[in-house]
Amino acid sequence: MSLIRARTDSPFRAAAAARARKDENARRAFFVITLLPVALILVISAALFVRAWPILSVYSPADLLFGKIWKPASGQFGFLPFILGTVWVTVVGLLLAVPPCILVSIYLSEYAHDRTRALAKPVLDLLAAIPPVVYGVWGLLAIVPFVDDVLAPLADRWLAAVPIFRVTQPTGFGILAGGIVLAVMIAPLIISVTFEVFLTVPNDLRHASLAVGATRWQTIRTIVLPKVMPGIVAAAALGTSRAFGETIAVLMVVGNVPNIPTSVFDTAYPLPALIANNYGEMMSIPLYDAALLGAALVLLAVVLVFNILSMLALQRMTRRT
Amino acid sequence: MNMKKNRFERRHLMEALMKALMRGSFVIVAGALGLILWTIIARGLPSLSWSMVSQVPKGGYYMGKEGGILNAIIGSAYLASGGTLLAVLLSLPIALYLKTYLGTSKWGGYVRLSLDVLWGIPSIVYGAFGFALMIMFGMRASLLAGIIVLALVELPIMTRAMDEVIRRMPADLEQAALALGSTKLEVALSVVTRQMLPGIVTAILLAFGRGIGDAASVLFTAGYTDRIPTSLMRPTASLPLAVFFQLGSPYAEVRERGYAAALILTIIVLAVSFGARFLSGRLNRYTVK
Amino acid sequence: MRKLTLCLFSLLTIASLALGACGPAGGSASSSGPEAGASDPGALSGTISVSGAFALYPMMTVWAEEFSRLHPGVQFDVQGGGAGKGMTDAIAGAVDIGMISRSIKPEEEAQGIFWVSVTKDAVFPIISEKNPVADGVMAKGITQEVFNKIYVTGEIVTWGQVIGDPSVTDEIHVFTRSDAAGAAEQWAKYSGGKAQEDLLGVGVNGEPPMVDTVMKDPLGIGYGNLNSIFDLSGGGLVPGILIPPIDINGNGQADADETYTVKEDAFGAVATGKYPSPPARFENLATKGKPTGLVLAFIQWILTDGQQYLEAAGYVPLTAEQQAESLAKLK
């Protein structure tokens, strides 16, 4: 409480009391508002669950999650192709993004001049600010033709023996295109999170290592990286959840065909794209709306798990400074 | 460890190699940005015209005839402004409360964690949630529904960014104010907001930029129309959906105009981004150094 | 400084409130009501809201504009969303008119849906100009049975089987639509399936990519709407694409009236009914209950004066009998 109460003059005490009351009221009002974030998570989960209940009560979760056939008009709601589609695109995106992003992060935190760092910030901010639909257009105009004209023929020539690189359909749309676009989209996130994590390592450790003659890279490899590994994993988890939920950009380049992927050149149909593409038909086929909102629920569940775990880990790491 | 200063020693080669890889990665990332901007500008510029930004779609617009996407530009402006305003009204109190009363408390930790989690929820889930609510309450696709869902999407982004900024509040300013007899509320409203104004404005504009560009949340909730919205309860067009729908057209001219629309959207978002930077620089006038 | 922020906030608030105030009152009603100016039949006013099939969407915007030009007091809110959405919205009373690019099901009629056909369009099969057996296919045509075996049962897998020449072993690259499309529904019905999901083939998302894909793949076969296949301004086929004649009379060869290389031929065949339905189809407008007032006037106009705008847009006008039939239904 403030020092106001210490004063004994009456006119001041009245005014002070009024201000203190205002403070108390505002405190209560603001407290209620802070309930909002927590409440929101619960309300969203509940609402989706309620709307998805019709289908959850008819089919078992195993049927839905592992069912392979998606033919809603005949009452078959197998989500497996969509779940696998999402997983494939996300994994490709992560594999393409994480190694370069860690390198960039290391570079920015350990090696770069202030000038480079100053240049990097706007670049990353801009990449993060570009709307997903613009990424989708870029994917359509630049990446899909690239996959079609450059990567697919290369894979055909050199990698035809490897099943996951087999070119299975003639268009450039597919998991690889989606993965490339996703990689660029999650790059700013991974870079900035790992950058923060690198900053948490105290410099004395680095200096000690350098003092005994290790090169910078040796220092990083043996001292810094082990310490920040949990943070890097957390960053990758955040990137995963972001990639899982990205809708529009992926939808425009991934092909949207509900088959179970066997190659990165396959087309796929991720969960968010399923929801976005079919909302118009939702009400005409029985249980379709429950199915789609159930898909949203699955998405929410996955994202929540990844996010809560990684956020907890990161909060613990960055609070140590 | 071998102390010979041999330049071709393996670890030095490793160092050089890693540095090269790192620099290369950085070039790739920066290059990606350049490539994106280049592609959008190169394909969008030819179809960009004054009528695109000044007219609504006329009858034959979707078959290649006259008109523009003014409906989407204004629709997005309304959506993002409304959503951002609503989000600010909730974000700023939360951020201030976190700073003022919950600095290290457990509840503050839960709130922050919730905000971080909300931040990670994809906008399609918010859109699906909004849609579920709309069905429950019998609402139809409208500007208001879009604004509410956008506010939900923007809330965690804005609050998180504000929180980051407000936490860096110099303690001495705060303590000086308290020592002079201010209540905590007064400190929050007068001192903290003023001092952190550049950061707060940046946070707001950041969320605004996100709101203009987000398609998944308005897809179900805001509908689409060819007219400029005149009421909160009617559907409204939005720029991202305008791009999306035009790209799916069988007419090549319409698709080309979709690219131009994407360029317009990109320009707007870049302008907001630079504007944020500029504005926060100017607002530094009001802070105490 | 606080004044500035206060001003900005107030401005934004006022702007948003003004938006709410100055629109037509009442958000829960489906529109501001079909208020026909009862005293002066020419002075119609009000708002008509429409949603539904993307197939009809470009045409509806043309009709909306022309109608508003004649009746400046009338405003339109037209949305896409797909035939499913149009039906849902019509049943729920969320829109005045639903654009339905398929036939209306009995369950939907049971919920009070009234509908009329307002135009025809058609789905055509397509192959690439570069197809090695293009000449053979163009000469012989393809029967419905063969389409069934390509698209539904999967018994026919080589182009040789299509033209009856076992020496040709090139496999057919079958393409279908992966997005919910009226065109796919029609093609499915024609090929003997129940619904779009019964069609075999590699899914392509969207019509332009479908046409593109078949164009580039010499061994490809696909299907598409009139306005994607014909260059509407020139009247000829989109370069690189051929329409394999459907052997309608089953005589084993492609007759002149089964072969379409220019828009007029295709239009004529669809209009007269020579081209089978499916894959030709009527595009329908659905309303909850029989339309009255403004909505009725609009639909009647579509069936009479509105028909003149169809051909240029790639849709087939109704024949005189079909027009009369629809108009009679509205009475």
The confidence score (pLDDT) of residue C235 equals 79
CATH number where C23 lies = 3.40.190.10
Same domain, C218 and C316: no
For the cut 80, the answer to whether the pLDDT of residue C42 exceeds it is no
For the cut 50, the answer to whether the pLDDT of residue C37 exceeds it is no
The tally of domains found in chain B comes to 2
Token pair for residue B156? 């965690």
Query: In this predicted model, what pLDDT tens digit does every residue of A56-94 receive, in sequence order?
Result: 888 888 888 898 888 887 788 889 999 999 999 999 999
The answer to whether residue B68 neighbours chain C at the CB level (below 8 Å) is no
Same domain, B242 and B101: yes
Same domain, C259 and C188: yes
Same domain, B221 and B268: yes
The confidence score (pLDDT) of residue A19 equals 82
Instruction: Closest CB to A257: pick one of C173, C203, C213.
Output: C203
How far apart, in whole angstroms, are the C-alpha atoms of residue A297 and residue B128?
A: 9
Same domain, B86 and B17: no
In three-state secondary structure terms, A197 is helix
Query: In this predicted model, what pLDDT tens digit does every residue of A121-154 receive, in sequence order?
Result: 889 999 999 999 999 999 999 999 999 899 988 9
pLDDT category at A207 given cuts 50, 70, 90 is confident
Neighbours of A159 (CB within 10 A): 16
The confidence score (pLDDT) of residue B2 equals 54
CB B162 within 8 A of CB B92: yes
- Neighbours of C (≥3 Cβ pairs closer than 8 A)? A, B
For the cut 50, the answer to whether the pLDDT of residue A213 exceeds it is yes
In three-state secondary structure terms, C56 is coil
Neighbours of C47 (CB within 10 A): 20
For the cut 90, the answer to whether the pLDDT of residue B11 exceeds it is no
Same domain, B164 and B62: yes
Residue C277 belongs to a domain: no
Same domain, B237 and B143: yes
Same domain, C131 and C268: yes
Considering just the CA atoms, what is the radius of gyration of chain B in Å? 24
Token pair for residue C15? 């702007």
CATH number where B141 lies = 1.10.3720.10
For the cut 60, the answer to whether the pLDDT of residue C88 exceeds it is yes
Same domain, B140 and B213: yes
The tally of domains found in chain C comes to 2
The answer to whether residue C61 neighbours chain B at the CB level (below 8 Å) is yes
Percent of chain C topping pLDDT 90: 16
Cβ distance C197 to A285 less than 8 Å, yes or no, reads no
Helices B123-137 and A271-278 cross at an angle (nearest 10°) of 40
For the cut 90, the answer to whether the pLDDT of residue B170 exceeds it is no
Same domain, C251 and C151: yes
Same domain, C200 and C168: yes
Same domain, C80 and C42: yes
The answer to whether residue B255 neighbours chain C at the CB level (below 8 Å) is yes
Residue C73 belongs to a domain: yes
Lowest mean pLDDT across A42-51, C5-14, C97-106? C5-14
Instruction: Closest CB to A257: pick one of C80, C178, C220.
Output: C178
- Chain A CB contacts of C220 under 8 Å are 170
- Neighbours of B (≥3 Cβ pairs closer than 8 A)? A, C
- Neighbours of A (≥3 Cβ pairs closer than 8 A)? B, C
Alpha-carbon distances of A194 from A102, A197, A312, A313, rounded to whole Å = 7, 5, 15, 12
pLDDT category at B72 given cuts 50, 70, 90 is very high
Cβ distance C12 to B81 less than 8 Å, yes or no, reads yes
The more confident residue out of A239 and B6 is A239
Contacts of A255 (CB under 8 A, 6+ apart): A169, A171, A173, A174, A266, A267, A268, A269, C178, C203, C204, C205
Q: With a CB-CB cutoff of 8 Å, which residues 107-126 of chain B face chain A?
A: 107, 109-118, 120-126
Give the distance from residue A263's alpha carbon to the nearest chain B alpha carbon, in angstroms.
25
Domain boundary among the residues C272, C295, C321 is at C272
The answer to whether residue B83 neighbours chain C at the CB level (below 8 Å) is no
The confidence score (pLDDT) of residue C183 equals 85
The confidence score (pLDDT) of residue B169 equals 80
- Chain A CB contacts of B96 under 8 Å are 30
How far apart, in whole angstroms, are the C-alpha atoms of residue A172 and residue B74?
A: 35
* Structural domain harbouring B208: 53-286
What mean pLDDT value characterizes chain B?
Answer: 87
For the cut 50, the answer to whether the pLDDT of residue B175 exceeds it is yes
Query: In this predicted model, what pLDDT tens digit does every residue of B187-243 receive, in sequence order?
Result: 777 788 888 888 888 899 999 999 999 999 998 898 888 888 888 888 899 999 999
The answer to whether residue B90 neighbours chain C at the CB level (below 8 Å) is no
The answer to whether residue C197 neighbours chain A at the CB level (below 8 Å) is yes
pLDDT category at C34 given cuts 50, 70, 90 is very low
Token pair for residue B62? 């979707």
Same domain, B21 and B57: no
How far apart, in whole angstroms, are the C-alpha atoms of residue A198 and residue B45?
A: 41
For the cut 70, the answer to whether the pLDDT of residue B46 exceeds it is yes
Mutation target to probe the C interface, by most C beta carbons within 10 A, among A281, A288, A292 is A281
What is the average per-residue pLDDT within C137-141? 87
Query: In this predicted model, what pLDDT tens digit does every residue of C254-312 receive, in sequence order?
Result: 788 888 888 888 888 888 888 888 888 889 999 998 888 899 999 999 999 999 988 88
Same domain, C88 and C71: yes
The answer to whether residue B13 neighbours chain C at the CB level (below 8 Å) is no
Same domain, B62 and B155: yes
Query: In this predicted model, what pLDDT tens digit does every residue of C104-113 receive, in sequence order?
Result: 888 888 888 9
The answer to whether residue C256 neighbours chain B at the CB level (below 8 Å) is no
Residue with token string 């039939």: C325
Mutation target to probe the A interface, by most A beta carbons within 10 A, among C175, C178, C189, C216 is C178
Give the distance from residue C321's alpha carbon to the nearest chain A alpha carbon, in angstroms.
32
pLDDT category at C7 given cuts 50, 70, 90 is low
CB A171 within 8 A of CB C209: yes
How far apart, in whole angstroms, are the C-alpha atoms of residue A91 and residue A68?
A: 20
How far apart, in whole angstroms, are the C-alpha atoms of residue B125 and residue B196?
A: 32
Token pair for residue C212? 């593109």
Residue C198 belongs to a domain: yes
pLDDT category at B6 given cuts 50, 70, 90 is low
Cβ distance C58 to B63 less than 8 Å, yes or no, reads yes
The answer to whether residue C170 neighbours chain A at the CB level (below 8 Å) is no
**CA-wise closest residue to A320 among A175, A137, A136, A196:** A196
* Structural domain harbouring C219: 123-272
For the cut 70, the answer to whether the pLDDT of residue A36 exceeds it is yes
**CA-wise closest residue to A134 among B262, C312, C66:** B262
pLDDT category at C18 given cuts 50, 70, 90 is very low
Residue C301 belongs to a domain: yes
The confidence score (pLDDT) of residue C1 equals 45
CB C125 within 8 A of CB C243: yes
Same domain, B40 and B149: no
List C175's β-bridge partners, or say none.
Answer: C202
Residue C321 belongs to a domain: yes
ipTM for the complex shown: 0.91
Cβ distance B243 to A137 less than 8 Å, yes or no, reads yes
Instruction: Closest CB to B262: pick one of A116, A137, A293.
Output: A137
Minimum CA–CA partner of A173 in chain C = C204
What is the average per-residue pLDDT within A257-285? 86
Same domain, C171 and C261: yes
List C48's β-bridge partners, or say none.
Answer: C76
What is the average per-residue pLDDT within A228-249? 91
What is the average per-residue pLDDT within C155-169? 87
Same domain, C253 and C191: yes
Say what the pTM is. Answer: 0.87
The answer to whether residue B112 neighbours chain C at the CB level (below 8 Å) is no
CB C134 within 8 A of CB C159: no
* Kind and range of the H or E run holding C204: strand C202-204
The confidence score (pLDDT) of residue B21 equals 92
